[in-house]
Amino acid sequence: MRRLHSSHRFMFGASALALCAVAPLTALAQGAQAPADTTVEEVVVTGQRAQIQSAQKIKQNAEVIVDSITAVDIGALPDRSVSEALQRISGITLQRTNEARDPARMAAEGGGVAIRGLSWVRSETNGRDIFSAKNGRGLSFEDVSADLLAGVDVYKNPSSDMIEGGIGGTVNLRTRLPFDQKGHLLAFSGDYNYGELQKKGYYSGNVIASDRWDTKFGEFGALIAYSYGSVGNRTNSISVDRYDPMTVNGKTVYVPKAMGWRSVDWEQKRQSLAFAAQWRPNDKFEFSLQAMGSKADPKDLERAALVENTMNQANANGYTYNSAGVFTGGTVYDAQYTADTRAGEGHKKTGDIALNGKWYVNDALTVSGDLQYVKSTSKTSSLTVFTQLQDIAGVDGDLPDVNWNLGTSVPTVTTIGANNTYVKDQYYWGAAMDHIDQSEASEKAARLDVTYEFPEDGWLKSFRFGVRATDKDFETRESGWNWSLLSAQYWGGGTPVYLTESKTANLTELYTFKNFFGGDVRVPGVAWFPTADVVTNGSQHAYDLLKHTETAGWGWSPVTSFLDANNNTQNEKTYAGYGLLRFGSDGLFGSNMPLDGNIGVRVVKTEASADGGSIVPSSPTCDELTNATCAAAKAFAAGGTIITGSTKSDYTDVLPSLNLRLHVTPQLQVRFAASKAIVRPTLSQLQPYTALGFDFTTSGTTSIYNGANGTGGNPNLRPIKSDQFDLSAEWYFAPTGSLTFAVFRKNIKDYIFTDTATERYTSNGQTFDFDVMRYYNGDKGTVQGFEIGYQQFYDFLPGALSGLGVQANYTFIDNEGGRNTAVDVDDTNQTGGADNAALPLEGMSSRSYNVAVMYEKYGVSARLAYNWRQRYLLTSSAANVNAPVWSRDYGQLDGSIFYSINKQYKIGVQATNILKERTVLEVGNPDRVAPYNWVETDRRVAVALRASF
């Protein structure tokens, strides 16, 4: 199938939206021409039509700006994961890497979610807090089973009764309750999904049972649901490193310092269990208990080959370059060849239990209370073992020559001349690296709300007020990246221990990158890699197998402890109170256009504390005889860690909100919303840890003191704040037909960024001034844009065509000012990249759109959906590359078709990434960007069965 060029995709999306804009007019005109005595065929609302009708009704009737996705059928959210479903909503984009700073590894189900270009997204379940221990603030949506959800609501401008914490918006995951059904319910579904590159299948399934009973003690209801999901995919990629400058014939050119290719097999098992009980003893009281637990266990196995570019004048003269002097092709002679096998795994759990009660005191007064406890844990680990192809000192031509051509849609890589990459006894054990982290977070929350309804004939409708308190504990622990030698490296080390020596003869395999890019791209090369068994059974197991290969006098051993800088225990308490007044009139200024809305204010106090604040100095390497400051610096360091004890801070935010809705006609309404929102700093930014060091250099035999510096977190950070405004027009011309347009603006201030200030410390009788880099609040910016959305089923068309429908939306975002934030303040590459004023905000695409063609008739429910987002900055400093990385325009086509065998059973097929779209990443600053990574992920196909009784 012919791929659409990015500009063609944009034209395709714009054309589709233009057609969509006139379609409702056509529909109304067609309807107006129908004879008065025409018999209207009853439309049975099922499947996608029911989902769209339900979501549209939520949006139309809400008092705030909200978009929804519903799953009217049990276990039938429109997409296979929550994050994939969310990207269909206007203004929402999906990041397709697990970590922005690790762009070479793409995710199967998508990673972070951004609303209107901002990743500051608050996550909720049933209007309550939910989070992942890894970040402590938001939820990793890919860890949540979509099968258990009744729907997802996205709030883009909140009212004061909503919990604070999201500038981008709030995503609320709704689970089912037993009173949602009229009687008993038993439903289940199962599927088998297959990855084309991986050539492997996975099974998933879910079951839900619910019932309700009338007894002498009132009405009871109970629901239990279980979901088991397994999914996997393979990712193939060809990549280069950053482009470093060198001079050739008096001209500056840019050549990648390394090139490589990799294959990653990723899979995840995900289990979720949900329970809900409701009790309505009489018409005055109602109680509910909801509990949910989810567990996700992702793991991946990677083989990567890396060719170090031995740049020299002779090589560079033979290379080809584009007009900007950027490398486009050439041969790397005597290429240094490294192969590694990497295994990563994670174990993430989240549990949530909540008790809610409502007391209908009388017709006017309602009191409700809510208690919640949520806990999340996360453990991840990574282990990589490297081999290298021998390079005999003083011998030219013993390493392979590798030819690269970056001038094609996907690079071609060819090994030329003598090729010893197949020869096992010419490889030796190179190095190993491991990493571990574990996090835990828990929260206790309580709230009380009171609602008073005014008499119906007045302009005031109701007044609601309430209070909420939370107590949240975080503990994060993380090791460094523990790299060290096994036997040797190209630059030295010990005596090489070859793969064929007796103790390790069975620990490697010749990996041939079978089915690379689905066979569309020539396999770049093969290598001898450590087997999966070496890296998938833990670091201690690998050490026991490989410890005898250490020949340099120092070598790798497994990490056993966490870095002090990344060992963080914190507590956060919040106390919030709000008041919300609802109002409405039958006509504005005597007109027949009703106006309603709400106005309110939320006041929240945050108290943050952290245990074990510490200042850790490192001892300098210098000569006391040639520099008197050296002795003082060593004495300072000998004083050891300076314990600062617990740190505490508190702040109060006042968050007003206003929502207005004017009903121009029963079908057309105009909204205006204004509010103030906050997002609190991340846990790592708040940690009370400072690392200090001294800068000495040596000139001859003399030590020269260049100053003292440090890095650290900042427990006194304040939230990022936003004044946000929305104006929208919404035309609902049919139960499943609407045309909406919204403009928005966010005035953001107190961005969090890194900066350096002088701080004075005394230890062991010595005092020094240090230039310490920390996180600070400051700077301001704006995010503004518009969204347009359209949906309709064309019931006026004849016969089978009346089952056709279309959904489409388009978003434009413009940004001015603002700051990117380094993830790790200790990494100068990150802090330098984040401070680059020439870079836009990370994760923000100026344009994005969705177009879906649907069909719902004769028991068939089908959808073909295309999602596209424009090029954007993925990260201001990617890991290892230490340079900005950009993601080019990307569009993906997904589809599904289901058939209702009868009222109880449906069978269907779902396909993801039908066109096998490739992701292309670029590296470099805006004035010189070059291709960096070409990635292809699986086209996944699933066969599914759904049943409901």
Of 344, 383, 342, 389, the residue nearest 528 (C-alpha): 389
Half-sphere exposure of 374 (CA within 13 A, CB side): 29
d(CA 867, CA 895): 11
Distances (CA, A) of 940 to 448, 894, 943: 46, 10, 10
For 283-364, list the strands marked E by DSSP: 285-308, 320-321, 327-332, 336-360
**Mean pLDDT by groups of 10 residues along the chain of 949 residues:** 39 40 39 35 62 92 92 74 87 80 67 87 92 78 80 92 94 92 90 92 93 95 94 91 85 88 92 95 96 92 88 73 89 88 94 96 96 95 95 72 87 82 94 94 97 92 97 89 93 92 93 90 90 96 95 90 76 96 86 92 94 85 92 94 84 97 95 96 88 92 94 93 97 96 97 94 94 93 96 95 96 93 82 85 94 94 95 88 90 94 92 92 89 90 92
Token look-up 């999904």 returns 193
d(CA 203, CA 231): 8
**Pairing of β 169-175 and β 890-900:** unpaired
- What is the chain's Cα-based Rg? 30
Question: Is there a contact between 120 and 137 (Cβ–Cβ < 8 Å)?
Answer: no
What percent of the chain is helix, strand and coil (3-state, nearest 5)? Answer: 15, 55, 30
Distances (CA, A) of 865 to 12, 55, 551, 795: 13, 18, 57, 20
Count Cβ neighbours within 10 Å for each residue of 133-156 and write b for 16 or more, e otherwise.
Answer: bbbbbbbbbbbbbbbbbbbbbbbb
Q: What DSSP character marks residue 147?
A: G
Question: Would you call 191 helix, strand, or coil by DSSP?
Answer: strand
Question: Would you call 174 helix, strand, or coil by DSSP?
Answer: strand
Q: What's the one-letter identity of residue 192? A: Y
Question: Is there a contact between 658 and 725 (Cβ–Cβ < 8 Å)?
Answer: no
Token look-up 């922005």 returns 100
Joined together, the tokens standing for residue 538 give 């833990």
pTM (two decimals): 0.89
Distances (CA, A) of 790 to 664, 738, 794, 845: 19, 6, 13, 21
Question: Would you call 616 helix, strand, or coil by DSSP?
Answer: strand
d(CA 440, CA 569): 10
Number of H helices, E strands in the chain: 9, 46
Farthest CA pair distance, the chain: 108
**Pairing of β 427-453 and β 460-478:** antiparallel
Residue 397, Cβ density class (10 Å: 0-12 exposed, 13-18 middle, ≥19 buried) = exposed
Q: Where are the alpha helices (DSSP H) in 681-826?
A: 683-686
Tell me what pLDDT residue 595 has.
94
First to last CA, the chain: 41
* Helix H or strand E encompassing 428: strand 427-453
Question: Would you call 480 helix, strand, or coil by DSSP?
Answer: coil
Q: The dihedral of CA 95, 99, 103, 108: what is its sign?
A: negative
Phi-psi region of 60 (alpha: psi -120 to 50; beta: other; left: phi over 0): alpha
Question: Is there a contact between 934 and 911 (Cβ–Cβ < 8 Å)?
Answer: no
Chain center to CA of 901: 38
Q: Which residues partner with 492 through β-bridges? A: 489
User: How does DSSP assign 567-587, residue by residue?
Assistant: EEEEEEEEEEEEEEEEEEESS
Joined together, the tokens standing for residue 482 give 């523990």
Q: What DSSP character marks residue 326?
A: B
Question: Is there a contact between 433 and 483 (Cβ–Cβ < 8 Å)?
Answer: yes
Of 18, 64, 61, the residue nearest 728 (C-alpha): 64
d(CA 511, CA 519): 16
Q: Which residues partner with 339 through β-bridges? A: 305, 387
Q: Which residues partner with 575 through β-bridges? A: 469, 605
**Pairing of β 702-712 and β 689-699:** antiparallel
d(CA 145, CA 128): 17
- Please, which residues have CB within 8 angstroms of residue 218's CB and are 6 or more apart in sequence? 279, 280, 281, 282
| Domains defined for the chain, CATH in brackets | 6-948 (2.40.170.20)
Question: Is there a contact between 808 and 740 (Cβ–Cβ < 8 Å)?
Answer: no
What's the length of the chain? 949
- The string of pLDDT tens digits covering residues 715-765 is 999 999 999 999 999 999 999 999 999 999 999 999 999 999 999 999 999
Tell me what pLDDT residue 310 has.
67
d(CA 849, CA 230): 29
Question: Is there a contact between 648 and 607 (Cβ–Cβ < 8 Å)?
Answer: yes
Of 390, 407, 403, 389, the residue nearest 333 (C-alpha): 403
* Helix H or strand E encompassing 637: helix 628-638
- Please, which residues have CB within 8 angstroms of residue 799's CB and are 6 or more apart in sequence? none
Residue 506, Cβ density class (10 Å: 0-12 exposed, 13-18 middle, ≥19 buried) = exposed
Q: What's the one-letter identity of residue 502? A: S
Question: Is there a contact between 887 and 248 (Cβ–Cβ < 8 Å)?
Answer: no
Distances (CA, A) of 362 to 284, 367, 441, 468, 743: 8, 10, 40, 24, 41
d(CA 434, CA 902): 54
Question: Would you call 155 helix, strand, or coil by DSSP?
Answer: strand
Residue 583, Cβ density class (10 Å: 0-12 exposed, 13-18 middle, ≥19 buried) = middle
